[in-house]
Amino acid sequence: MINIIGLNGIPMVKSGDDLGLFIVSAAEEQGVGIMDGDIIVVTQKVVSKAEGRLVKLKEIEPSEFARKISEGTERDPRHTEAILRESSRIIKMRGQVLIAETRHSFVCANAGVDRSNIDNGYLCLLPIDPDKSARDIRYKVKELTSRNVVVIITDTWGRPWRLGQVDFAIGVSGMTPFRDYRGMTDPFDYELGVTNIAVADELASAAELAKGKLSGIPVVIIRGYEFGKGEGSAKEMIRPLEDDLFR
């Protein structure tokens, strides 16, 4: 049995806060503690806040291009400018929708720049290196508790062809992000050719079920899942450009 446990006691996070410490305290307070093999799933928003990845809207000077593509949309040209600065490539644009490749090569709406759950007048950017963010929290938890855990940083993403969003992993530390069945044979002796499950993304989605966007639960512990050992990286889940039919 796998358990998904939302942590209730994480305070509002500010720049410079120590998330590892917050997580350990909240888990202890809630009586669940931290155990070896726990997967700690952390919402990008609180990581970005702790790392000071907020920008003031009024300090952004929008370019000509940002102004032009914001015309007729509800998005502030300064917000558009921040998106462009975080982008290394625009994949699709239509009306207010802007699908971009981020500095990390993730493809997502608005290059991960958003305005929710932060102080008014600011924008929140993705962490510079979400794998490192995950690793920092993992090491801190180890230091405080001696427990070996996995940390996954997640963000909420739309999908082509399907409505609604799900959480995916943007940072991973302490596990391989896949469960790879390629080359194995099923009970009928058929060799699985392509099956390579992106379990880090599934863990991100599973954790979201215990989070909620308004309830102040930015951290979830998944307990009882047997992951593949390894340092891991969310970058392993980026499809190489030469294999990509939609970029």
Residues that bind a second copy (CB under 8 A): 1-6, 92, 94, 97, 99, 106-107, 115-120, 156, 158-168, 177-179, 181, 184, 186-190, 192, 194-199, 201-203, 205-206, 208-210, 212-214, 216, 225, 236-239, 244-247
Q: How far is the CB of 144 from a second copy (least distance, A)?
A: 23
Nearer to a second copy, 24 or 99 (CB): 99
CB of 59 to a second copy, least distance (A): 19
How far apart, in whole angstroms, are the C-alpha atoms of residue 201 and residue 244? 18
Which ranges constitute the DSSP H helices of 174-234? 199-208
Q: Least distance to a second copy from the beta carbon of 19, Å?
A: 18
Minimal distance, residue 143 CB to a second copy, in Å: 27
- Closest approach, Cβ 213 to a second copy, in A, equals 5
Residues 6+ apart with CB under 8 A from 8: 26, 30, 216, 217
Residue 130 Cβ vs a second copy, minimum distance, rounded to whole Å: 14
For 150-163, letters b (16+ CB in 10 Å) and e give: bbbbbbbbeeeeee
Nearer to a second copy, 25 or 165 (CB): 165
216: buried, middle or exposed (CB in 10 Å: 19+, 13-18, 0-12)?
middle
The residue among 58 and 94 lying less far from a second copy, judged by its C-beta, is 94
- Token look-up 């699908």 returns 99
Cβ proximity of 169 and 222 under 8 Å = no
**CB-nearer residue toward a second copy: 128 or 184:** 184
In sequence order, the 6+-apart residues with CB closer than 8 A to the CB of 243 are none
